[in-house]
């Protein structure tokens, strides 16, 4: 079973029953119990139980207390989010393992549709240069074909580091759902920024993955999954002085 309830510890508050999104729990003789197999393993019952009566076999249950986002200063958070910039200039300083783990953990805990948790993270590592070369070759070929019809393409210099900009870390985020992968990437970027790192979303890499079977094979892209983002990460070699302007916000109130 996905969820086990210790009837000795259960205090009969019913909080888990109220919070279960799939109505998998009911009250029986003043205690919570599991009534069917439709559990999506969201962990709400485990997280909400005041008596620690819920366990989830097979999952990593840490008993770690919750820390609410409301504990963070909202003005500071908003200012930091407005200040973020896409980074295209990186130092060669490697990203420390402890920071990489935090970035991956942030992606791991993003919300996913139906709690599917099917987002996958591929660190290019020793294959990074090979993956970049595949993309560079593909884009150089495309540039030769299309440049006569688009003058701006003639001005683009596709260097050997055109895709990853010399950054030390590249993480490919793939998923069955583009929304799930994008949410994970957003969580990861916020964490990376908080650690003093910069991030570039390489949309060009994503395009190459859709065209190149060789590249999909290199990153071991699972059947049914798509490359949602390619996150190029490292220490910025550029410092911005002010928040960049934006267009007027478009909001509709119905």
- For residues 86 and 201, the answer to whether their CB atoms sit within 8 Å is yes
Nearest to residue 54, comparing CAs of 87, 10, 96, 85?
10
Above 90 in pLDDT, residue 17? yes
Above 70 in pLDDT, residue 215? yes
* Choice between 141 and 120, residue whose per-residue pLDDT is larger: 120
pLDDT score, position 148? 67
CATH architecture of the domain 4-55 equals 2-Layer Sandwich (3.30)
Above 90 in pLDDT, residue 244? yes
Q: Range(s) for CATH 3.40.109.10 in the chain?
A: 70-234
Above 90 in pLDDT, residue 122? yes
Burial class (CB in 10 A: 0-12, 13-18, 19+), 207: middle
Fold exhibited by the domain 70-234: NADH Oxidase (3.40.109)
Q: What is the pLDDT of residues 132-152, one digit of tens each?
A: 999 999 989 888 877 666 666
pLDDT score, position 125? 97
pLDDT score, position 150? 65
Q: What is the pLDDT of residues 2-11, one digit of tens each?
A: 899 999 999 9
pLDDT score, position 81? 95
Query: Residue 141, Cα to own-chain centre: how many angstroms?
Result: 31
Above 90 in pLDDT, residue 173? yes
Q: What is the pLDDT of residues 76-89, one digit of tens each?
A: 999 999 999 999 99
Q: Range(s) for CATH 3.30.70.20 in the chain?
A: 4-55
Nearest to residue 59, comparing CAs of 76, 40, 78?
40
- Residues 144, 67: Cα–Cα separation, whole Å: 53
């Amino acid at each position: 079973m996905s969820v086990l309830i210790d009837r000795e510890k259960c205090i009969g508050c019913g909080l888990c029953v109220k919070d279960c999104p799939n109505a998998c729990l009911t009250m029986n003789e003043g205690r919570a119990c599991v009534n069917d197999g439709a559990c999506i393993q969201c962990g709400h019952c485990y997280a909400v139980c005041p008596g620690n009566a819920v366990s989830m076999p097979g999952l990593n249950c840490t008993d770690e207390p919750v820390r609410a986002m409301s504990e963070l200063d909202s003005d500071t958070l908003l200012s930091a989010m407005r200040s973020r910039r896409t980074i295209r200039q990186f130092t060669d300083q490697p990203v420390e393992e402890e920071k990489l783990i935090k970035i991956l953990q942030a992606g791991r805990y993003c919300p996913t549709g139906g709690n599917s948790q099917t987002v996958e993270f591929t660190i290019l590592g020793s294959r990074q240069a090979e993956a970049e070369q595949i993309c560079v070759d593909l884009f150089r070929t495309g540039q030769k074909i299309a440049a006569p019809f688009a003058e701006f393409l003639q001005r683009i210099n596709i260097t050997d580091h055109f895709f990853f900009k010399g950054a030390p870390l590249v993480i490919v985020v793939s998923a069955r759902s583009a929304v799930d992968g994008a949410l994970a990437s957003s969580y990861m970027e916020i964490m990376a920024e908080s650690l003093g790192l910069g991030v570039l979303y390489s949309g060009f890499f994503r395009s190459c993955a859709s065209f190149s079977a060789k590249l999909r094979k290199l990153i071991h892209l699972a059947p049914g999954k798509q490359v949602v983002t390619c996150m190029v990460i490292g220490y910025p070699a550029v410092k911005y002085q002010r928040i960049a302007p934006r267009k007027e916000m478009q909001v509709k109130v119905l």
